[in-house]
Structure 1
Amino acid sequence: MSKLSTDFILASPSRFNWSYVGDLDKIIVYPEPSDDDLFDANYSPDHLVATGWVVPEDEEEAYRFAVASFRGTASHDEWKQQFHPQMTVFWPCTPTIDPQAAANAMYAAGLNCVLISGQVDDIANVSGFALTAGGSDLSDHLAAAYICSGQTPPVVVTQRALALNRPKVMEQELKEAAESIGQYLNSTITRLNETLEDSRGLRP
């Protein structure tokens, strides 16, 4: 696992009633549809060729062509519904990588989280994660979302994720992140104590 930023290691959540956010569709960072998504929606390159479309021969160009054809359709609108927040909790995060790449990584990992980035109703700029499912503790999904975005997950999220009595999403990466958090906190405590001793004139 590449080195993660610690910008949000002590972050705490806020809450949004997403049903009242008028520009929600504009600030959700949707992942790129997978090949399976295109196939299930009958918009794969093969489907398009079979219905008379002239599709580029290059595999990557054919995929891009299929995605462009898929966007704006009723099937695409239905596909996007799975990324709409279902819980009011919102965890702040600014990815250290391209937001689209982060959203793609989260989708590939099967996370019940969505990256939201932008201005909410011309009031506040936000960037972070909302849950797209509820009914169970999804702390491991939140932790994995941070990791996919190049950030160390917050301490409280990591603690709850590790305590889950079930297999965790990206469990190995979660444990590595937890070790990094422990090192970071120990280092922080050491520096704090040294600063305190200096302020009291206790260090030579």
Structure 2
Amino acid sequence: MNSDPPEDGNAFWAHKTALEQRYQAILDRVTPHTLERWIFTGVCLVIYFIRVLLAQGWYIVTYALGIYLLNLFLAFLQPKFDPSLEMDMAADAVEEGPMLPTRSDDEFRPFVRRLPEFKFWHSATRSILIAFFCTMSRVFDIPVFWPILLIYFCILFTLTMKRQIRHMIKYRYIPFNIGKKSYGKSGYK
């Protein structure tokens, strides 16, 4: 069976492929510029909030954006391999026989994020831009009492971050490079 697109759609597929290649080229160019990327995202978020405040609407869209950004941030903070699951598997394996070292002083294990920084930035920026375009249509402006949403989001954020910080303390991992030893040309920094 032939998996090529139909002849009448060749122009569409060629145009779509060209757009995808241009988009990927832009992403490849901005990848090493971490600070500039996050500044752009922050400016987009500020513009979005100004739009929502001046228009006095789209609180459901803003709430959904906040929940999505919180979810991305949590995935950014969490390790790719959950230490609580590793501890459970290690406890089960003790009954089966000897196993590899599991203590942090026995071997070096770098912190690998569940969601890498670039994917976090890319998803966050895309979601902010999508939310901004949602504010262009009254279809998404559902009337709601916004203080309830704000209070609920603040409670959800506090409880979620409290749980995440407890998890970080319990399994002794730090998702940031602050205070960690790094090696340079002259040894420790």
Q: What is the TM-score when the length of structure 1 is the normalising length?
A: 0.22
Higher helix proportion: 2
Higher strand proportion: 1
Structure number with bigger Rg: 2
